[in-house]
Amino acid sequence: MWMKRSEAREQAFILIFERSFKDEDIDEIIEQAQISRSMVVDDYAYNLAQEVSGNLPWLDQIIALYSKKWKIKRISRVSLSILRLSLWEIDHVDTVPEGVSINEAVELAKKYGNADDFAFVNGVLGAYVRAKGQESSENTEAENSEEQQESSVSLNIEES
C-alpha cells in the first residue's frame, strides 16, 4: 500500500511511541500492530521505526545535549518519540530536507502532544540544525584553509 510520506512518518511515530512503553523489539510491536489493529505498515515507516529503535542511545544523547535543562526522563514520551524520529531523519535520510522534517515534527507534536510540546520540539530540533550547520561550515573553512596552505607550499616549491 502506498502512503504519503507524512502519513508514513506519523505511522512510524506511533510505533516508536508504543515502543517507549514496552520493552519489546520493534519487530514484535509492528507484528502486534498488524495483527491486533490490522495496520498495514508502510515500508518507510517500518524502516524508520527500526532505525530509530536501533539507535536510541545516540538519539537520546543528542536530545539531552540540545534540550537545555531537561533530563530525558522529564521529557514527555510524545515529544521524545517525535524528537527521536525527526533527528534520525535529519541526520540519516537524505531525501528529506531538514525544514520538512522539523515542520512535520512540530505538526505531530501539535496533534499528539500537550500545548507546549510543539514549541519544545521546534526549539530542540532548531538548535540541533543550527549547531550542525555551524559545524559543517567550520569544517568547510578548515578544509579551504588546508587547501590554501597546500597550494602555497606547492607554489613556494615551484618558485625555488
Per-residue pLDDT at 23 = 82
Per-residue pLDDT at 45 = 92
- Residue reference for cell 567550520: 138
Task: Name the more confident of 149 and 73.
Answer: 73
C-alpha–C-alpha distance, residues 88 and 83, integer Å = 8
Among 73, 77, 123, 116, which residue's Cα sits nearest to residue 102?
123
Looking at the structure of the chain, the number of domains it has is 1
Per-residue pLDDT at 144 = 54
Report yes or no on whether pTM surpasses 0.85. Answer: no
Specify the CATH number for the domain of residue 115.
1.10.940.10
7-31 pLDDT, tens digit each: 999 999 999 999 999 888 888 888 8
99-154 pLDDT, tens digit each: 999 999 999 999 999 999 999 999 999 999 999 887 765 555 555 555 555 544 44
Q: Per-residue b/e over 84-111, b at no fewer than 16 CB within 10 Å?
A: bbbbbbbbeeeebebebbbebbbbbbee
Range of the domain at 96: 5-159
Per-residue pLDDT at 87 = 98
Per-residue pLDDT at 147 = 53
